[in-house]
Structure 1
């Protein structure tokens, strides 16, 4: 196996590479990175390093020479993500790559999504399936790591104020999802499978407030907000309108049950139970 990891220096990509190094020889791993300053440290591990991004077709071709498997880590939503994903998929096919894996999102129903940027993940899945390549799709739950962004820096003074209602999310740590993905990539065949990496329990913001209360000794309350109240509360923060809209759409999908599906895929491919909410919050909030 010769595997290429794109987006290898991000948090998820780094976790994948870290576990792959335990499972397969370093010389069997190639990575695509944007930042020149990170190249030498990665090369020192024995990994093959190529500099480039999803818009650079010649860099993609160089990176995929003699590679049989590519893990496409989804691009940022700041650019033309769909075209960037297609560049990677098309180059893989042109280069004779046999297998492609993709980091998608675990949402219940693409037809009723509020956060339309999530649809781009499903469009990428469609394009991969139509490519004729053997594929593996990793539908990952919302990262537990982002909870401090949802709760805000002053959560221990103000509590939690979000328009998510009673909705729940099967939050899991990004590092553990990367570990499970690497275990699949290095130990299983590419048989057009879809994995849903979620925790084994789903949590509401009520659960998060309760856990933070227990961990900190301070009473934390969650106040479900309506959208207009939430918008008014956020205005003084100076958050850009486009970003505020994304937050509202995330919360709307949570409220509508898009993020609460539970599977054992993550547990099975970690070989242990995923980190619980309370354990994760203890680390994330340094409690």
Structure 2
């Protein structure tokens, strides 16, 4: 039995769809706070179990008879470590044979603020003794393409990344990788996958691709880190999260969100999704 946390989320849904293409629904457990959010999966025969970070004991019950578990990192930045700890403890108590965790690229040495809770979670996993595999995901292309409406409105991509390179991949690419690891017949325990897109680009190059695909004038505006933080706050983001995103751009400038190993494409058996394709897909909904 393969269980997936956050099964109603953007990545979780894609992982389950990928699993359904390769294994029977009866082998899959969707873990969610609200069962109604995955009614479509239940209709296909996927087992749905309720599990809530605010109720740690719910995971002890939800992980019974689970062989492999995908712990998709919580979206609650700042609260992730204790939330993840509840899942890890329940996995240990239930004798889960493999725990896969979606971390961030080069977590162990990354200076990115967003890496801190991932680093803490990886340490908890190691201390637990649960056999584990780390999926260190790079940046999602959707981090950019989901914000195309204001980019097109203002004709500008803003950032603090300079000409730093980013190797993004689509959520579907990362979901396919998670499914491949969970379904692999090889022993995955102890493995660490540094995952990123095949192609890398700067934000100025990204702006040029957006302009080419959309037929509209779009340019990249590089700005000081604090100015970017203020701009993101002005756009409605919480101050702490805005600071983290600006910090990530500083890390991009220093090369922390690119990787040339092509581990992701090898794992999924195909090239990763080009950024131009992700832009086209996003523009179809703008």
2:144 aligned to which of 112, 128, 147: 147
Give secondary structure in 1 for the equivalent of 2:221.
strand
Give secondary structure in 1 for the equivalent of 2:242.
helix
Query: Equivalences for 1:131-170 in 2 at 5 Å?
Result: 131-148=128-145, 153-155=150-152, 157-170=154-167
Change (3 A) 1:151 1:25: closer
Unaligned runs of 5+ in 2: none
Worse-matched range after superposition: 173-182 or 238-247:
238-247
Alignment partner, residue 242 of structure 2 = 244
Change (3 A) 1:94 1:250: same
Alignment partner, residue 82 of structure 1 = 81
Q: Is the 8 A contact 2:210 2:218 kept in 1?
A: yes
TM-score under structure 1 length normalisation: 0.91
Change (3 A) 1:91 1:11: same
Give secondary structure in 2 for the equivalent of 1:203.
coil
1:117 paired with 2:122, answer: no
Give secondary structure in 2 for the equivalent of 1:102.
strand
Alignment partner, residue 97 of structure 2 = 98
1:175 aligned to which of 172, 181, 185: 172
Q: Is the 8 A contact 1:138 1:195 kept in 2?
A: yes
Give secondary structure in 1 for the equivalent of 2:183.
helix
Shift of 1:228: 4.0
Q: Is the 8 A contact 2:181 2:188 kept in 1?
A: no
Give secondary structure in 1 for the equivalent of 2:86.
helix
Query: Equivalences for 1:16-55 in 2 at 5 Å?
Result: 16-55=15-54
TM-score under structure 2 length normalisation: 0.91
Counterpart-to-counterpart distance in 1, 2:83 and 2:76: 10
Q: Is the 8 A contact 2:157 2:219 kept in 1?
A: yes
Counterpart-to-counterpart distance in 2, 1:232 and 1:61: 42
1:275 paired with 2:273, answer: yes
Change (3 A) 1:206 1:60: same
Give secondary structure in 1 for the equivalent of 2:121.
helix
Shift of 1:97: 1.3
Shift of 1:233: 4.6
Change (3 A) 1:131 1:275: same
Alignment partner, residue 220 of structure 2 = 222
2:252 aligned to which of 247, 251, 254: 254
Worse-matched range after superposition: 211-220 or 81-90:
211-220
Change (3 A) 1:49 1:228: closer
Number of residue equivalences: 284
Counterpart-to-counterpart distance in 1, 2:236 and 2:10: 27
Counterpart-to-counterpart distance in 1, 2:32 and 2:230: 40
The C-alpha deviation readout for 1:96-138, integer Å capped at 9, x for no partner, is: 112111000114x75551x423211011112112221211110
